[in-house]
Structure 1
């Protein structure tokens, strides 16, 4: 779980509204320069004191964490020995090789490291993350906005442990919290039994090309209905006459749903370069992947009907060609044109209906 901290030190008249929004959004920490600003915060949020450029106050008040600039306040390890009831962190502004090395040392040894990178490149952050790998402390990196926060959370795949951002308007704190929770929950896949297949003629199908490699037991969930999807495998497995393309899923007809981000569905026809889709493996483990392009072409189509253990059904219309494949139990690779009644495929049967892609508890009949 990534940490979301907001910085309220330079806020004006809108500070109270932003703090209340941040508390409602359940941000993890609020950072202030004055202990007074931390006094009435609830125990659900970490109270962080950082009097940057000023002397440390005689009392830290309700602060849980005190961030210090060693050149101004002293070494955090020594301060922690003097104040055992408070956690201490080190602020490092990274502007050159010397301060980069200081940040690496802090990441390896300090309980909290609050890092401000002056250069726009994320390579110094990559170096600090690598240097601090396995350490018990936490790296909190300053971001200018939510877009940068999303990048920081993903640097070197591990990402920074947390982000500190100064909101400029109501809504920013909630967006930061959402970015920190960008990971998507795993899914419970079920075995579906094929009940019928039929050649349904020509139509447009979509190949979803992503900016990542899929694993052999991984693909995307696709279905004609939002409450029943089948796991379509990528072109990771060898085929005669053509090279493997492990970034591609020959997914299905353009009307089909797939899982995107934020628990939403997207039509395959809506996906564009930069869209996000959910990659799923045979165990239900998920990750968001970025779409590089979608190839839509006219092809003969095959309809596959399947039923779950509880009687709920799924339908998938995909390209009618043997090299288009789905996944079965244990990662078995099944050619679509060879599917027959009684075969088992892996699928997902969500219970919620959908409105503009979002799950919603309402009546909706799909047939």
Structure 2
């Protein structure tokens, strides 16, 4: 069985990192954001905020895993680029995209801000003490411009004059909740954890009932479901129509993390367990394997493509729940997803995972890692799975260098 022993997980972490390091590094401008299947760089001068943050997270997670000083060097390198190029002093915001170091799209998007916050928090967890100032700065600005206290949720988007649009989405709040949990773990500041918990409570106690127990993607400014938004775009990169299988599973992961810190919140683990099982059962492609990208309101497949991060979330949460409960059904799902990834998504020749496959598991292109993909979700999933497998096999932690 693939990805079932600590040694296999260690090897996969090393091979995933080897695809990116050092070819992703641009000594003058952060990281290269576009790599083909065999690692060739293209679109060399375009930068995306989510990728810039993602590479920081990638190297920070690897630094935590290995303790390698060189990884920390590249974490600092990535943060420097975010601070000097993405951050715009005039507007006090982060440019969504850059071309040759200049803003190409200066729209303020909450998902990008949450990604930057997660980058700072992960860097701080990796031992970069100066990241605390950046973490506090982005958190304060995100609170000022995006957080709506009467909803206990973040708005999604603003123009360059900080006028919020009417769109609201769960995806920005998912990433923000993850960043807040990481910030609490890095600092011990309970205010971060309190807000993360309030976001989860609001979404899952007040909004999920509108989706029969699942979270819809899109809402209006009053947090009513917007069924028409992107109805014709079920494959949109950041705002696809429908229920997203990967997002339901990702929320299960965050609930497990919140439960670790908030044991009195007795609803978290039962909800995570229900959500995971429902999502994988409705999302599994019984003909071609893998978890589909999206389903409609009736939980019928809508976008049958197989996207890398969806499978990675499934792997991590299956292992977490298997470890937490001891129930065999979670390990059966783990083996099923791991076998699918091993056969179809993992590039055994060059390393890394393919970004997206057709419903019958063919590649759409040779573009393995175009922005915003950096495979930090894969490395993170493996780093979360590793101690679980070590407990299962009674092994101690080992590490390799960058």
TM-score (norm 1): 0.24
Q: Which has the larger radius of gyration?
A: 1
Q: Which has the higher strand share?
A: 1
Which has the higher relative contact order, 1 or 2, with Cα contacts under 8 A spaced 6 or more apart? 2
